[in-house]
Amino acid sequence: MTGFRDAHVLITGAASGIGRLLARGAAARGARVTLLDRDQAGLLAARLELGLAGADAAAFTVDLCDRSAVQATAARVLAARGPVDILINNAGVVTGKPLLECSDAAIERTFQVNTLALFWTVRALLPAMIARGRGHVVTIASAAGLGGTSRLTDYCASKFAAVGFDESLRLELRRLGHPIRTTVVCPWYIDTGMFRGVRTSFPRLLPILQPDYVAGRILGAIQGNRRRLVMPRFVMAVLLVRILPLGLYDAVMRFFGVDRNMDGFSGRLDRMPHGGNDEDGGPERGRGSV
C-alpha cells in the first residue's frame, strides 16, 4: 500500500481540474504537496487554498514544454522540498481538431506536454526514489490512450505513447529490481472543461465522469497500488474488441459513437493558447515559485 500520510506528492497540472482535486485529496490524506503548472494565478489560488486548510503546500510555475525548465524546476523541488514519494504526471492538453486543421505548434505542444514531459519529470525524480528504495510514478493517460478517435489524432497518439511509457517503465523497473510502483490512469471524458462540448451516445455505459469521483478513484488506486485504473469499467471492452478484424473493430467503435463524440467539442474557450491555431505557443508566463 502507498500511504499518503507525510508523503511528498508532486502533481503536474495542479492549478486546475483533476490536478487541483488530486492536490486537495492528497493533502487531506496528510501528504505534503508540491504543485507544478504553467498557470501562475491558478497555482497561487490552489496553494492558498491548501495553506488555509493547514496543508504543507508549495507551488512552482513551469512550462512543461520546456525541457531545461522542467529539469531546473525538479532540481529546485528536490533541494527545497526533498525527494518525491509520489509523482503524479497529470498535466495535459488537447487540440480537438481534424488533423489538417491542427497547427504544427499545437501538435508539437500536445506531445511535449502529454508525452515528453513524462520523460523529463520521471528522469529527474526517479533517481532519488531508487536511492531510497521507494516511490510511486503515476501517469494520467486517457481512454484515448487505448483507442483512437476522430479529431484527436495528436491527443490519442500522445496518450497511446503515455500508456506505452508507463508499461515499459513498469516492466523495466521490475527487471532492474527497483521497488518503485507505477499506476496508469485511463479515464473516459471528465467534466472539467478540457473537453467541453463532447457528447456521449451511451450515457449509462459511458457517462461523462465527475471530477471529484475521478480524483477519488485515482487516489484510491495509488493507495491500493493498482497498476492500471480504467474508468468507467466498460472502457476495458475496447481491449477485448481489439482481437476482432479491423473492419469489425471500426464498426463497434462507430456503433458506440466513438467517432462522433468530439463533433460538438469547443474545449477551454478561456485558454486559447493550447487549443487554438497559435503558432507561437501563446503568451509568456512567469516562471518561479509562487
Ligand X SMILES: NC(=O)c1ccc[n+]([C@@H]2O[C@H](COP(=O)([O-])OP(=O)(O)OC[C@H]3O[C@@H](n4cnc5c(N)ncnc54)[C@H](OP(=O)(O)O)[C@@H]3O)[C@@H](O)[C@H]2O)c1
Bridge partners of residue 40, in order along the sequence: none
Report d(CA 28, CA 32) in Å as an integer: 10
Residues in 220-259 that interact with ligand X by CB under 6 A: none
Q: Torsions phi, psi of 79, nearest 5?
A: -70, -40
> Is residue 148 part of the contact set for ligand X (CB under 6 A)?
no
Cβ-based neighbours of 283, under 8 Å, separated by 6 or more: 273
Q: Exposure pattern of 174-205 as b/e (b: 16+ CB <10 Å)?
A: eeeeeebbbbbbbbbbbbbbbbbebebeeeee
Could you give phi then psi for residue 282, rounded to 5 degrees?
85, 180
Could you tell me the smallest distance in angstroms from the CB atom of residue 73 to ligand X? 10
* Closer by beta carbon to ligand X, 105 or else 130: 105
Regarding 278 and contact with ligand X (CB under 6 A), the answer is: no
Q: Which of 115, 148, 274, 290 binds ligand X (CB under 6 A)?
A: 274
Closest to 135 measured CA to CA, from 90, 199, 178, 193: 178
Q: Is residue 18 a contact residue for ligand X (CB under 6 A)? A: yes
Provide φ and ψ at 109, rounded to 5°: -65, -40
Least distance between ligand X and beta carbon 245 (Å):
28
- Give the nearer residue to ligand X in terms of CB position, either 100 or 270: 270
Smaller CB separation from ligand X, 63 or 154: 63
Among 27, 63, 146, 180, interactor with ligand X by CB under 6 A:
63
143: DSSP letter: G
To the nearest whole angstrom, how small is the minimum distance from the Cβ of residue 121 to ligand X?
A: 11
Q: Under 8 Å CB-to-CB from 56, ≥6 apart: which residues?
A: 27, 32, 33
- Nearest distance from residue 176's CB to ligand X, in Å? 27
Instruction: Select the span of 24-32, 86-94, 99-107, 236-244 touching ligand X (CB under 6 A).
Output: 86-94
Residue 16 binds to ligand X (criterion: CB under 6 A): yes
Residue 271 interacts with ligand X (CB under 6 A): yes or no: yes
Asked whether position 106 contacts ligand X by CB under 6 A, the answer is no
Q: Are strands 57-61 and 288-289 parallel, antiparallel or unpaired?
A: antiparallel
Q: Is 275 in the site for ligand X (CB under 6 A)?
A: no
Taking CB under 6 A as the rule, does residue 166 contact ligand X?
no
Chain residues in the site for ligand X (CB under 6 A): 13, 15-19, 37-39, 42, 63-65, 90-93, 113, 140, 142, 187, 189-190, 192-195, 271, 274
